[in-house]
Amino acid sequence: MPPPAASHFVCSSPSLFPLSSFPSSSSSKPQIGYCPTPTLTRLSSVASLSKPKSHLRKLTPLSAVSIEKETIISERPHTFLRETDGQDDGSVRSRFQRMIMEVQDSVCAALEAVDGAGKFKEDAWTRPGGGGGISRVLQDGAVFEKAGVNISVVYGVMPPEAYRAAKASAADEKPGPIPFFAAGVSSVLHPKNPFAPTLHFNYRYFETDAPKDAPGAPRQWWFGGGTDLTPAYIFEEDVKHFHSIQKQACDKFDPSFYPRFKKWCDDYFYITHRGERRGLGGIFFDDLNDYDQEMLLSFTTECANSVVPAYIPIIEKRKDIPFNESQKAWQQLRRGRYVEFNLVYDRGTTFGLKTGGRIESILVSLPLSARWEYDHKPEEGSEEWKLLNACINPEEWI
């Protein structure tokens, strides 16, 4: 048995869109390391749960497929699309790629401006078979402990279990390897100040081609993504501002979107074994293809462009508030919850690992440090308790 006060060294994708590259890899035996004291720990090794408990969602063993290894390049290219896709022909693939590149640039510029000291390191890469991506990370800045903003445009073939991870519906299961195209932008932002919230956003587009032995079968496509806020302390005006920006983006297209996707977000980011949500929600949707494709492309673009006005004003207000060691420790405990969710439940993490994704891109936005304390319970009525209560009992913020 582990010592009474044990911290698990774990590492998993923080819900980043994982399709960054697909080097060959193989599954390894899961490992859990124990730390004898509940101190801050650097997240430095990949781990998994060796056997899911009966009350947890079932985990599928990892099984990465061999796909060409990425090649690091010195400059970002104009496009990652194959020539056979027309590159700039006005297709959904082409316009979605252009959108995610523009969003990456605008978000990184805004983050560097508010940080004032940190600069993003960029790695661009391609694959011989087509596709590639750009990974950017700002680490140990004045405001941000770690901020990652990735884009990827990827062609490949995924095994059936990876397809099931990408598509929630078991009814969509196909036999045999599935040719696919996927593009996305994803980010997780971890500020240093415990009064400044973590933010995650992720917007992606998928297409799957029909198997060669199924002539005439239609190509499938869908959009997915969302933006959600994960604070350690509640400032009601901040949460209302964040949710109001999400609602504004949704209402431009369908008034049913915000309440529907807000609930979806609360349900998706639920840590079953804790009985609480990861944070205070936002919007989330997946497998979305039951509307006009052009409308959904515009909707996803609007959501991605709402990240800066939703988040930057909050950071500006909270980044310089004085804090003490106890408040910092609470932030680290909440980051532990963040890691737990992504380790056990996140579909994006599962997909990236099953398809042999580029590990540095999958894990780029894990926090530098997190904390686990044995049987920690905040004092009822405290500011920490108020946050935990809101994670257990989701609120309607607007």
CA pair distance 125, 41, nearest whole angstrom? 31
Q: What is the dihedral of CA 19, 25, 26, 31, to 10 degrees?
A: -80
Residue 141: C-alpha distances to residues 11, 41, 311, 379 (Å): 22, 19, 17, 32
CA pair distance 153, 134, nearest whole angstrom? 9
What is the CB-side half-sphere exposure of residue 387 using CA atoms within 13 A?
23
Q: What is the dihedral of CA 41, 45, 51, 57, to 10 degrees?
A: 80
What is the CB-side half-sphere exposure of residue 91 using CA atoms within 13 A?
14
- Crossing angle of the two packed helices 236-251 and 307-318, in degrees rounded to 10: 170
Annotation marks residue 200 as catalytic: yes
Q: What angle do CA 278, 146, 167 make, to 5 degrees?
A: 45
Q: Which of 8, 200, 241, 243 is an active site residue?
A: 200
E strands, the chain, in order:
7-9, 33-35, 41-42, 71-73, 121-126, 131-139, 144-158, 178-191, 198-208, 220-230, 270-271, 276-277, 282-288, 369-370
Residue-wise over 216-244: b if at least 16 C-beta within 10 A, else e?
A: eeeebbbbbbbbbbbbbbbbeebbebbbe
**Alpha helix segments (H runs only) across 252-382:** 257-268, 293-305, 307-318, 325-344, 347-354, 359-362
Tokens of 168: 């929630």
Catalytic residues: 200
